[in-house]
Structures are given as C-alpha cells and as structure tokens.
Amino acid sequence: MGSRVLLVRHGQSEWNAQGRWQGQADPPLTDAGRAQARAVARAIGGVDAIFSSDLRRAAETAQIVSDALGVGPVIVDPALRERDAGAWSGLTRDEIRERFPGYLPDDHHRVFAPSRTVPRRPPGWEPDGSVLDRALAALGRIHAVVGDGDALAVTHGGVIYVLEDHLGEPFARLANGGGRWFEVDGERVTLGERILLVDDDGAPVTVPTEI
C-alpha cells in the first residue's frame, strides 16, 4: 500500500509578504502565516507523523500544526529545505530584473524545469537535480517512519514544484498553506491530488510569485 505524504508549503513569511526571493534565507512567519498554519491544522484532520524543513518558516508552521493536532514531536529533515536561490536571495522581481537583465522570465513561465527553455540562473543557484535528489531521499525517510500511514511534511514551493515536474505535472503556482499528496511505496513515488488548506475563513490566501 505504501505511505501517503502531504507536502505543504509553509505559511506566509515576512519575505513572502515583501515579494522577496528567499531560497535558503531564514525569515520568520508573518501573523498571516501563523493564521494559515492554524488553518492547515483545522483542514487536514489526523496524520501519523509530522515532518518539516529546518528553515524556521516551515518549522514554525509545522509546530503550530503539531500543537493543534497533538501529533509530535516534529521530525526535522534539512533535505526538505528550499532550493538555494543564490544571488537572488533577498531580492524582489524588480531588483532581479535590474541586476540580472534577461535572466528572469515573465510571470507566466517557470524557472524550475530543466526540460524546458529557461533563462540563465544566478551564481549559487541550486540545480533541479540536486533539489530532486534530496526531496526523493526525504520522501524515502518519511516512508520508512510511517510505513502504510499518512504523514504531513511542511516544506517549500520550490521543492514541491520540482517533484511535480519530475512526475509530469504542469507548473501551477502554489499558495502558502497549499499542498500536494504523494504516494510513496519503496522507491516508487506517484502524484496524488493538490489541495488548498487555507480558505480565507480566518486566514488569507496568499500566493507568492517567488521562491
């Protein structure tokens, strides 16, 4: 049967709210992000274990869910952290276009998939293959813990996008507090459905356009 793993994008961070690319920088959640984390807890029901990236926007989201559900402790796996955005970390789209002209596509195209025509990346940008390898390794470790159970893993948009692309899913932006189910059986990983766990009832729906 295998595991069902819900990978969820963390709540809104301070840099999400400012439109800044984060990568592996470590800004905290906003109050809206904490409200989104509480909405995630209300929406998902029960899970057998909760995992998280080691970046605090994800770890705090996971801890809020853990406290609400009484499931824990949160298991931190650094392999779930966001892609390293290199020299783009901390910059807005306008700043990227100013400092790296011609690098950034318009908002209707993605910058993640090696199988598509993409612009150049900045110095320090982590390639898709590296993100994919560590994401798949993390899913394998989650499967080893929960067996045939269900797990929540709080991670980042870039990680989910790379896994979706690897499994043939067209790119679509993911909201804070949105997620994708994956089924993991040994080394076999298949796509489940995408879900939005935040519905504007006490928590805003925010969709970052950066990583």
Given CA atoms 33, 34, 35, 41 in this order, what sign does their dihedral have? positive
Tell me if 198 sits within 8 A of 205, measured CB to CB.
Answer: yes
DSSP code per residue over 11-72: PPBHHHHHTB--TT----B-HHHHHHHHHHHHHH---SEEEE-SSHHHHHHHHHHHHHHT--
- Options 60, 82, 126, 164, the catalytic residue: 82
Neighbouring CB atoms inside 10 A of 211's CB total 20
Is 82 marked active-site? Answer: yes
Query: Would residue 143 show up in a list of annotated catalytic residues for this protein?
Result: no
Contacts of 1 (CB under 8 A, 6+ apart): 148, 185
Catalytic residues: 10, 82
